[in-house]
Amino acid sequence: MSGNARPFEEHPNFVDAWAEMEKLLETGKVRSIGVSNFSINNLEILLQHAKVGPVNNQVEVHPCHPQYDLKQYCDNKGILLSAYSPLGQGNPLFFSDPDFAKVANDHAVTPAQVAVSWLVERGIPTLVKSSKVDRMKANITFVKLTPEEMRTIDGIHKKPGMHLSLLTPYHTSDGIWLGWTYEQLGWPMTAGGILRN
């Protein structure tokens, strides 16, 4: 990939790709179709042209990038928001946060279990990758978080240096992510995946 951003006006774009995916529904070979990394802005564009809306929007979600507005939007539109990289994909910055660590210690569980449980409590299915059987088992062993613990985790992204994407290898210093500008993606980010609000 060159890293050069491609204008939306250039075809094929994601609306064109979606129209082709809709044709798959007509074959009966697939039952539903969805998107990944779509912002509210790009969902709005897609829904203006789609015959069938996406069933799922899979995005990066974790305590440093909680996606509250996108979750609300997807809920209102009947789109299931699901989380990939809920543990930060090898960069679990929030695991070392003292408030987050206290929640894990209070329940005698791993930070990963707290992160997954927080997402499940929010109604967000998670896709956790692991090749170790013990971690796989732990990742499906949820803890019941108290309302106070949920508020604590909800607020982690407000701490200095904590409101960001943890997928740093994919962000360029000039604000390009896999060939798209943050503006094209509709993401409120600055270079390096730092969130603005």
Residue-range definition of the domain harbouring residue 171:
167-197
Cβ neighbourhood burial of 107 (10 Å; 0-12, 13-18, 19+): middle
Residue 181 inside a domain? The answer is yes
Residue ranges in 50-164 assigned as alpha helix (H):
68-77, 98-107, 111-121, 133-139, 147-154
Residue 3: its pLDDT value, please? Answer: 53
Residue 103 inside a domain? The answer is no
Residue 119: its pLDDT value, please? Answer: 96
The DSSP bridge pattern shows strands 180-181 and 176-177 to be: antiparallel
Q: Per-residue confidence of the chain (197 residues) as pLDDT tens digits?
A: 445 666 778 888 899 999 999 999 999 999 999 999 999 999 999 999 999 999 999 999 999 999 999 999 999 999 999 999 888 877 789 999 999 999 999 999 999 899 999 999 999 999 777 677 776 676 677 899 999 999 999 999 999 999 999 888 888 888 888 778 888 888 899 888 889 86
Indicate yes or no: pTM above 0.75: yes
Residue 177 inside a domain? The answer is yes
Inter-residue long-range contacts of 35-39, CB under 8 Å, 24+ positions, other chains counted: 36/84, 37/185, 38/186, 39/70, 39/185, 39/186, 39/187
The DSSP bridge pattern shows strands 189-190 and 194-195 to be: antiparallel
Residue 197 inside a domain? The answer is yes
Residue 190 inside a domain? The answer is yes
Residue 192 inside a domain? The answer is yes
70/187 Cα distance (integer angstroms): 11
Residue 91: its pLDDT value, please? Answer: 75
The number of folded domains in the chain is 1
Residue 187 inside a domain? The answer is yes
Residue 184 inside a domain? The answer is yes
